[in-house]
Structure 1
Amino acid sequence: MQVHQARSTCLPARAVSMHDGGGPMNRWNLERGQGDMFRKTASFFAAAMIAAAGGTPLQAAQDDAGSVRGSVTLEENGDFVSGTVILVVGAGAFALSDGQGRFRIDDVPAGEYEIVAQRDHLTAGRQTVLVEPGRTATADFVLRLSPVQEEVTVTASAGGAETALEAFNAVSTVDAFDVARESAGDLATALAHEPGIAVRGFGPGAARPIIRGFDGDRVLILEDGIRTGDLSGESGDHGVGIETTGAERIEIVRGPATLLYGSNAVGGLVNVVTPHQSYRDALFDGTRAQLSAEAGSANGQAGTNVGMQHAQNGFLYWGGGGLRYTEDYATPEGIVENSATESSNARAGVGWSRDRVFWSAGVTMNDGRYGVPFAGQFHGHHVEEPGAGGDDHHDDHGGEAAIALDWQRRALRVDAGLLGLSNRFVEGLELSFNVIDWGHNELEIEGGSERVGTRYDNRTYIMRAEVDQQQTGRLSGRFGGWARIRDFEAAGVEALAPRTDLAS
């Protein structure tokens, strides 16, 4: 298990040795040990949740706390604005405005604060209020339409929700409108115009962001705060297996906040946030939907994505999916052969939030295929000759084979937690459990036929816990831990990596 503290240091991941006394460890014993580790980790955090829920309240802190309430309206027509993020700067407390544009934030320590109201493509509002013990301060906001986003509220930071201006990290955010404008076919292309971001690519399907010159295993890709489980960090021709067109926003974090996510994030991290993640912050009844369509002429691009979330009586139901297809793209020098891509995705889930407790469960399915231009020049023509004992012999004199990757990703995620606690030390905590199955075939295509050259399978179990420390004056923080079990196997003519069973 790895333990890390956002404001101090991070212990590096440690692989569990697979050898005992010079000989291979029995696989059953290894799996039993991994299971024991997960059970102990789960028991520890379950005990922490019980203790947090039933701990001794800090009555003095409650007596010294007040509340902030208000409303948000649109300047152009006076309509209420729902879904606006209201943030108490310095206290780390926030809420979303409801269907009537109203909000209320309780248990704010007494003092003077700036209150920020922010919603995509509306001007941001800022007010200074004085929170007095046992009293309620009022802050009403009137926002107007604007193509410039003045404030950005991020969640993947050490102090929890805060604006990019107040964050001590280097943070930038790409919202849903920006993603739609780019009409990018992959995550790296969607971020290509962000400062400090470069793109490593072996064609449209196999691209990955580079942050501050770091690539591969030094840049962590997350979906809703959890690792994606793909193999994009292992090789240049392996793509990122998550879809961006249905994202609420994409957060790019550099600096100390990356310590929350382990040593793999030393260069930075990219967190793709899906729309349904907001249910635990402020759930109000109603239906929300997104629909996008895209087309491109240089590569015959066509795609669509739809998503919907419906909330009622504390429950949130969500579902969505999309398709994208591109042909070989054209350049002034001609057509780039074997650069076509296709992908599809679907997701569904249910969550519940009431008072101080929340839980959710969801599944995600991604499938895709993409060509790797010019990769055939680096692959020998594999021919298995009779009587050769099954060994592959390379014939570099034959025609050049095209290389394509056919991939699949399946993910199950369960979350549970507590919010707004009056415990002496803990304000809230969250426990997440993920199972991710990733697999892809490297296909060699020649003469109209294709064969599987190498097969990769990667199953990952991830347990992650985060604890928000109780506000002490203007001092706040977050700490947590995570455990991961990984089972990786490659088989075929280019299976250079050995089978790996890893616990960290």
Structure 2
Amino acid sequence: MRIRMLALAVAAAPFTPVMADNNASELDTVRVTATPTNQSQAELVQPALVLSGEQLDRQRADSLGETLAQQPGVSSSSFGAAVGRPVIRGLGGARVKVLQSGMEAMDASSVSPDHAVAVHTHGARQIEVLRGPATLLYGNGAFGGVVNVVDDRVPHADDHDGSETQLRLGVNSVNDGRELAIRHEGKQQRWHWHLDAAASRSDDYRIPAEAGEIHREADGETEKHDAEGKRLDNSDIEDNRQLTLGGSYELGGGSHIGLAASYLESAFGLPGHGHAEEHEEAGAAEEHQEEGPARVDLQQSRIDLDALIMRPFTAAQSLNVQLAVTDYEHSEGHEEVHDEAQQADAGHEEHAPTTFSNQAQDLRLELVLEPWAGVSHVFGTQLTNKQFSAIGGEALVPETDSQDLALFWLAETQWRDTTLELGARLDAVSHDPDQPGSVAAECGFSSRDVNHKAFTNHSLSLGLIHNLGHGWQLAGSLTSAQRAPAVEELFSCGAHESTLSYDIGNPELKEEQALNVDLSLRKNSGRFTTGLSVYQNQIDDFIYQNAVVENGALLQLEELQAYQFQQQQATLTGAELQMAYDLADYWQLTAMADSVRGKLKNGDYLPRLPADRVALGVNFESLNWSAFAQHMLVAKQDRLASFGRATDGSELQESATDSYQQLSAGVSYRISSAAAEYRIDLSGTNLLNQDIRYHSSFVKDRVAQPGRGVRLGLTARF
């Protein structure tokens, strides 16, 4: 059998249209392909959600973070239209693992918030989110959770029956966006094949007139300037293309072996930075050049191998072997802006770009044993090797080879109405800088500081589910996990102009140690379904970037704010609520709320914590028609991180984010025949044209989210 896990169906989550049924029944089973134990939706300890079908099409955006930004417990570290990494329960970066069909997406998105996730959402069949620690399965430090983008690049026998082709076309008014995607799957006897391709592009997106830049004044007050135009400069996606080809062969008895090759390329702008200025001296224009908009050019090639062997030996159910080989590269450059005379002669030139590269290999083996004495066991190992480099003007991190060798074990047993799960993982992590002397001396580093770093991390987990009857369950988990510092946290040193920061690492960082408690009460069947989760995540030696204060003022290096990685105990506490009630005649009411608090041991708030949210929705679905509307209220975020105190005693802190409302609605019409199915979708986003800013975004004061937009899509399946 295919090694899988079944998770909580998204039908229980808000804004998921489900045809009402007057009879109480179990929710449809939705498979989450990211874990190795075969559990039903009522047997999963960890809170999870799945976006698929129409709901995925409604939420699909150019960045992964924006696609998931309205889901319970999930926000986005948005940096324009093309860049946005998921933030789960207030944690992001390296603490959230992003997977591509079960294997890590080996890009550079965790290094900096202006780096895109090299995963194409337009090719996804479904997106799975596991909230809370997932370190046992996915390695060093997934304290926040895991996002798995499933595109079935290596097809399996149970993924489809026969041949199917899907074509999707779309346009978007807010950015004049255009999208074309095709997906084809087929089989011939024991051979299976898969193809998906997508292309999209968009212009600068429209923003409300009041959604200009917010500037901090010297006295700590903020001043907001209205947008000069109706579009956000440099927020375009010049090109975004993806192609995947895969195939597999059935070996018999449920076994298979498959291979896939994929290519992704994208070119886009990073808004909020780089403007031409005009200087005058002694009444005459001074000849100079100024850095213009920041542009990114990204390419990734990847090979995936997936082999499943059923009954490899006595007492073993299955052995799954996966291998991913990735060649990732992106360049960041600033267009140079000259005066008019220079432009006439030379036009626009590009400033020497910085090239970020990640050559990575990821090997994973999972062995599922036959149950023994009522206990099922899964043993696994994972070996990850990365060669990361940054070459150019913003080469903040030295070329570094990183390895992670891990062993993990999961066990499960059931006693009456209670299911007990145990797990353990051991990681050996190392970072080896190739040229320690390449790190700048002004950060106080020496070659002795920037040297081989090795960490041994362990993770333990205990979880249980107790069936209370009538569809109600109580679930809980206790997880102790460690995370080794990332390369950028250890060795960063230099100007990072895209984020307007001067980043300083800390070679003396220790491992983080997290203790997470998660409790859930949920109802999985009947007309009314719900899930309430509360959690606390205490992290000792929590690694965070803090603004450097010197002599009572924020330190500026090379005219940029200096930030240094530090450690201190942090505690994150939060809750997530989702409900759905099926009415008669195909109507459904939904509700969602989430909140997270994060504080350091000294009492200061963690930076960029998502604001509290509450949402109400209504869905309708009949044989041919479906419609939805959802209204989300996001509270003002004024629980602000403190950087220290100025000489006058005032507090230096991050800026607040105003409250906003987010209204979206849409309608779909389906036409079905024996040979094909067609669907027309019309939807509107930010219908109130609000000035929307995510507090979790590093550039929220300079980059507003898109204004009112209308999307039209056509999907054909045959």
The CA distance in 2 between the partners of 1:245 and 1:317, in whole Å, is: 19
Relative to 1, partners in 2 of residues 1:477 and 1:92: Cα closer, same or farther, differing over 3 Å?
farther
The CA distance in 2 between the partners of 1:124 and 1:364, in whole Å, is: 40
Relative to 1, partners in 2 of residues 1:281 and 1:121: Cα closer, same or farther, differing over 3 Å?
farther
Deviation (angstroms), 1:359: 0.4
Relative to 1, partners in 2 of residues 1:200 and 1:92: Cα closer, same or farther, differing over 3 Å?
closer
Instruction: Give SS of 1:217's match.
Output: helix
Equivalent AA in structure 1 for residue 261 of structure 2: V
Partner of 2:248: 351
1:163 equivalent in alignment to 2:40 = yes
The CA distance in 2 between the partners of 1:500 and 1:376, in whole Å, is: 29
> Quick check: 189-198 or 349-358, which moved more?
349-358
Q: Map Cα deviations across residues 371-427 of structure 1 (whole Å, 9 max, x no partner).
A: 1112227x999xxxxxxxxxxxxx9974341101100000011121212x2854321
1:199 equivalent in alignment to 2:76 = yes
Partner of 1:214: 91
Partner of 2:367: 467
Spell out the pairing of 1:391-402 with structure 2 (5 A cutoff).
398-402=289-293
Partner of 2:392: 492
Partner of 1:254: 131
Deviation (angstroms), 1:437: 0.4
Instruction: Give SS of 1:153's match.
Output: strand
Relative to 1, partners in 2 of residues 1:370 and 1:283: Cα closer, same or farther, differing over 3 Å?
closer
Query: Larger helix proportion, structure 1 or 2?
Result: 1
Partner of 2:199: 323
Partner of 1:289: 165
Relative to 1, partners in 2 of residues 1:153 and 1:414: Cα closer, same or farther, differing over 3 Å?
closer
Q: Map Cα deviations across residues 156-203 of structure 1 (whole Å, 9 max, x no partner).
A: 2352x3333320111111113222112411211111111000110111
Q: Give the gaps of 5 or more residues in structure 1.
A: 1-85, 95-119, 126-143, 382-394
> Quick check: 304-313 or 177-186, which moved more?
177-186
Instruction: Give SS of 1:375's match.
Output: coil
1:408 equivalent in alignment to 2:299 = yes
Spell out the pairing of 1:430-441 with structure 2 (5 A cutoff).
430-441=320-331
The CA distance in 2 between the partners of 1:349 and 1:422, in whole Å, is: 24
1:451 equivalent in alignment to 2:351 = yes
The answer to whether the 8 Å contact 1:348/1:363 transfers is yes
Partner of 1:369: 267
The CA distance in 2 between the partners of 1:281 and 1:325, in whole Å, is: 34
Q: Select 1:332's aligned residue among 208, 225, 229.
A: 208
Relative to 1, partners in 2 of residues 1:396 and 1:412: Cα closer, same or farther, differing over 3 Å?
farther
Deviation (angstroms), 1:256: 5.9
What count of residue pairs does the alignment treat as equivalent? Answer: 356
Deviation (angstroms), 1:496: 1.3
Spell out the pairing of 1:43-122 with structure 2 (5 A cutoff).
none
Q: Map Cα deviations across residues 46-103 of structure 1 (whole Å, 9 max, x no partner).
A: xxxxxxxxxxxxxxxxxxxxxxxxxxxxxxxxxxxxxxxx99xxx9899xxxxxxxxx
The answer to whether the 8 Å contact 2:4/2:35 transfers is no
Q: Percent identity?
A: 28
> Quick check: 357-366 or 169-178, which moved more?
169-178
The CA distance in 2 between the partners of 1:452 and 1:227, in whole Å, is: 30
The answer to whether the 8 Å contact 1:218/1:267 transfers is yes
The CA distance in 2 between the partners of 1:472 and 1:121, in whole Å, is: 42
The answer to whether the 8 Å contact 1:158/1:257 transfers is no
1:304 equivalent in alignment to 2:204 = no
Q: Select 2:119's aligned residue among 242, 253, 259.
A: 242
Partner of 2:528: none
Partner of 1:385: none
Relative to 1, partners in 2 of residues 1:294 and 1:477: Cα closer, same or farther, differing over 3 Å?
farther
The CA distance in 1 between the partners of 2:135 and 2:169, in whole Å, is: 34
The CA distance in 2 between the partners of 1:340 and 1:296, in whole Å, is: 13
Relative to 1, partners in 2 of residues 1:173 and 1:163: Cα closer, same or farther, differing over 3 Å?
farther
Relative to 1, partners in 2 of residues 1:241 and 1:271: Cα closer, same or farther, differing over 3 Å?
same
Q: Select 2:258's aligned residue among 351, 360, 381.
A: 360
Partner of 1:425: 315
The CA distance in 2 between the partners of 1:396 and 1:254, in whole Å, is: 54
The CA distance in 2 between the partners of 1:149 and 1:295, in whole Å, is: 33
The CA distance in 2 between the partners of 1:294 and 1:277, in whole Å, is: 26
The answer to whether the 8 Å contact 1:156/1:253 transfers is no
Q: Map Cα deviations across residues 445-471 of structure 1 (whole Å, 9 max, x no partner).
A: 134322332111110011111112223
The CA distance in 1 between the partners of 2:40 and 2:241, in whole Å, is: 34
Instruction: Give SS of 1:338's match.
Output: coil
The CA distance in 1 between the partners of 2:67 and 2:373, in whole Å, is: 39
> Quick check: 273-282 or 485-494, which moved more?
273-282
Partner of 2:563: none
The answer to whether the 8 Å contact 1:345/1:364 transfers is yes
Relative to 1, partners in 2 of residues 1:171 and 1:407: Cα closer, same or farther, differing over 3 Å?
same
The CA distance in 2 between the partners of 1:415 and 1:124, in whole Å, is: 39
The answer to whether the 8 Å contact 2:5/2:32 transfers is no
The CA distance in 2 between the partners of 1:217 and 1:211, in whole Å, is: 11
The answer to whether the 8 Å contact 1:180/1:292 transfers is no
The CA distance in 2 between the partners of 1:201 and 1:181, in whole Å, is: 19
Deviation (angstroms), 1:481: 1.0
The answer to whether the 8 Å contact 1:438/1:459 transfers is yes
The CA distance in 2 between the partners of 1:242 and 1:376, in whole Å, is: 27
Partner of 1:36: none
The answer to whether the 8 Å contact 2:93/2:110 transfers is yes
The CA distance in 1 between the partners of 2:95 and 2:102, in whole Å, is: 16
Instruction: Give SS of 1:172's match.
Output: strand
Equivalent AA in structure 1 for residue 206 of structure 2: A
The answer to whether the 8 Å contact 2:199/2:240 transfers is yes
The answer to whether the 8 Å contact 1:365/1:410 transfers is yes
1:230 equivalent in alignment to 2:130 = no
The answer to whether the 8 Å contact 2:133/2:142 transfers is no
Relative to 1, partners in 2 of residues 1:441 and 1:256: Cα closer, same or farther, differing over 3 Å?
closer
Relative to 1, partners in 2 of residues 1:246 and 1:474: Cα closer, same or farther, differing over 3 Å?
farther
Deviation (angstroms), 1:228: 1.0
The CA distance in 2 between the partners of 1:472 and 1:153, in whole Å, is: 25
The CA distance in 1 between the partners of 2:193 and 2:18, in whole Å, is: 27
Deviation (angstroms), 1:275: 3.5
The answer to whether the 8 Å contact 1:316/1:350 transfers is yes
Q: Map Cα deviations across residues 118-145 of structure 1 (whole Å, 9 max, x no partner).
A: xx988799xxxxxxxxxxxxxxxxxx9x
The CA distance in 2 between the partners of 1:262 and 1:396, in whole Å, is: 53
Deviation (angstroms), 1:245: 1.8
The CA distance in 1 between the partners of 2:153 and 2:298, in whole Å, is: 26
The CA distance in 2 between the partners of 1:283 and 1:183, in whole Å, is: 23
The answer to whether the 8 Å contact 2:301/2:327 transfers is yes
Relative to 1, partners in 2 of residues 1:309 and 1:158: Cα closer, same or farther, differing over 3 Å?
closer
Equivalent AA in structure 2 for residue 351 of structure 1: S
CA RMSD in angstroms comes to: 3.4
Deviation (angstroms), 1:323: 0.3
Moved over 6 A (4+): 91-94, 120-125
The answer to whether the 8 Å contact 2:332/2:355 transfers is yes
